[in-house]
Structure 1
Amino acid sequence: MLVSKSNGYSLVEVLIAAALGSIILITTQQIMQWQKGAQFRAVSSAQFILGGQAVSYQFFESLNQTIASSVQNPQSNCFIFPTQSGGSVGFRVRNSQLQHNPMTLDCSGYGWQSLTDKTQFEVQELMVETRAPSVSDGASKLFITLIISRVTKNGVQEQPFKRSITIFS
């Protein structure tokens, strides 16, 4: 009777070990890619909201020197606000961008500058409602809504920014 001793691994054992190692590596890689994707989506969503907040803050701050009771709306999504210094400032939505003109009398003139970038988000709507000054305190109110959106893999993400501004005359 011949007894043979084998040192090392058989071909079948090596192939099984290689297959198990490959499965573990592929699973680990998929988990890491999923985590990176989740982090990217969270950062992207935060950038969208922060970008919208920055634009809306700039927009709302520029309205602090306006006279709320005399707002003109000659075209849809375009508003001309008289200022306390005697001039006027205009805001409009054109080509999904919020545009600003610090010295305008109408919505079709020159000098309009975009406040937003369509690659970051699109401006869907600008709504302005006014309330005439009350007799008791002489305060006018502006109720402003700015709606922005962006397209994601899961659909359209919209974010409204609302503010009411009280202006004392």
Structure 2
Amino acid sequence: MLERNIAQKSDGYSLVEVLIAASLGAIIVMTAQQLLQWQKGAQHSSVSKARFMLSGQAVAETFLSSLSNSVVADVQNPERGCYVFPTQNGGSVGFRVRRYQLQHNPMTLDCAGYGWQSLTDSAQFYVQELRVEADASLNSGNSSKLFITLLISRETTQGVQEQQFNRTITVFPQ
């Protein structure tokens, strides 16, 4: 009879042993899955932040390159967030913030005119502020300086992310 009990014991695993092994296996698989999801979320967050910054930087560079032939001393700011820059060829270029978008008009005389085109998409980020200060008093060889601030933001699951772009442009007469 003793031999019979030993033979029955060696035939396989008991139900309790199988349940414990299955539980430990499930815990290990769920932990690995959570770790992979956390890593994927962290990577997505990093990529999203980089995309936000690069998008803002691209808009800032487009904006700044449009000012390369501006006449700084005669910048008009008839209303908050709108600037009209006379150009050296006798025309003018305008920039304004409307509905959290940076808008551009290559041939405007005022901020209320037609032909404004959006440089940004509010689905990507909001333009909170555009500020331009001109200083022609720093003349060295008849150059003038523009001090430009562009503030953008977006809402994320962690809160509001903001990025400020500050540039100084020296404009030399041609």
TM-score range relative to shorter protein: over 0.9
Structure 1 counterpart of 2:29: 25
Could you state the TM-score of these two structures normalised by the residue count of structure 2?
0.94
Q: Indicate which of 91, 102, 124 corresponds to 1:98.
A: 102
User: Residues 2-26 of structure 1, C-alpha deviation per residue, up to 9 Å, x if partnerless?
Assistant: 4312211000000000000000000
Give CA-to-partner distance per residue, 1:50-105, whole Å, 9 cap, x none. Answer: 00010000000000010001000011000000000100000000000000000001
Q: Does 1:54 align with 2:76?
A: no
Shift of 1:135: 5.1
SS of aligned partner of 1:39 = helix
Q: Which residue in 1 is equivalent to 2:123?
A: 119
Over the aligned positions, Cα root-mean-square deviation in angstroms equals 1.1
Q: Output the CA distance in 2 between the equivalents of 1:72 and 1:2.
A: 104
Contact 2:150 2:164 in 1 (8 A): yes
Structure 1's consecutive aligned runs of 4 or more residues displaced over 4 angstroms after TM superposition are 133-136
- Which residue of 2 is the match for residue 89 of structure 1? 93
More off after superposition, 135-144 vs 57-66: 135-144
Q: What is the aligned partner in structure 2 of residue 12 from structure 1?
A: 16
Stretches of structure 2 that go unaligned for 5 or more consecutive residues are none
Is 1:64 the counterpart of 2:83 in the alignment? no
Structure 2 residue aligned with 1:107: 111
TM-score, normalised to structure 1, is: 0.97
Tell me which structure has the larger Cα radius of gyration: 2
Once the two structures are TM-superposed, the CA of residue 33 in structure 1 deviates from its matched residue by 0.1
Alignment length, in residue pairs?
169
Q: CA deviation at 1:133?
A: 4.7
Counterpart AA for 2:164: P
Q: Does 1:149 align with 2:153?
A: yes
Gaps of 5+ in 1: none
Contact preservation (8 Å) 1:147, 1:159: yes
CA-CA distance at 1:136 after TM superposition: 4.4
For 1:167 and 1:32, the matched residues in 2 are separated by 52
